[in-house]
Homo-oligomer: A and B are copies of this chain.
């Protein structure tokens, strides 16, 4: 399978990179990959590191290679809202706009592959396929954003938590969506971050998780590791 992607001439950097088949780099042939790789830099950032600052100019875009990046918006008085989560091999950046309107921060330790904004925008003109991939990625982000708007506006705290756990489970282990079987994973977010994502307070998040634990729907180990014991009952609580 995937014989359409020939690895001859592909930069070593890209050879085993997930962004090359599921991410935007899949739009490029080996020549173009090589050209892009010239100005490309792979690097790690540890949890908590700010990657893109609000209203600061953005000179580089990246692919997320591993870990989770959170996108947040902050009101003047400090209230915060997470408006998106990005998993590998998502593209991180807002093309055609030099100022960022949000903050991107490493939620877990992450690996990134970054390249200059200008390089990407130039390549998009030469290779429409690249712009196509980008469009598809942004359409997915839009779909997700709208799903969360429903959660934020209309779901109860209990439903928000259930939806959140399901969403994480599906992103960590795509098999979950197909089979109704259980799942286990590490939460990429702290309680405070979950609260910022769901428009709740830490206390409410904690109480709702305790509740699900009490009803034997999930188990929690070390605060971060979650095991879903009763997937269908959890899904029933998601509300939609």
Contacts and interface: CB of A to CB of B under 8 A. Distances in A.
Interface of A: 71, 73, 75-77, 79-81, 83-84, 94-97, 101-102, 124-125, 128, 131-132, 134-136, 138-139, 141-143, 145-150, 152-155, 198-199, 239-240
25 contacts: A73-B146, A73-B149, A73-B150, A75-B154, A76-B239, A77-B239, A79-B154, A81-B150, A83-B146, A84-B146, A101-B146, A102-B146, A125-B128, A128-B128, A128-B131, A131-B132, A134-B135, A135-B135, A142-B145, A145-B149, A149-B149, A149-B152, A153-B198, A153-B199, A154-B199
A105 to B, nearest CB: 15
A150 B83 contact: yes
4 cross-chain pairs, A with B, having the tightest CB-CB distances, nearest first: A153-B199, A128-B128, A152-B152, A83-B146
- The listed residue with most B CB atoms (<10 A of its CB), out of A101, A153, A198, is A153
Nearest to A127: B128
A96 B131 CA distance: 14
A37 to B, nearest CB: 23
A152 B76 contact: no
Nearest to A76: B240
Contacts of A76: 239-240
A80 B154 contact: yes
Contacts of A73: 146-147, 149-150
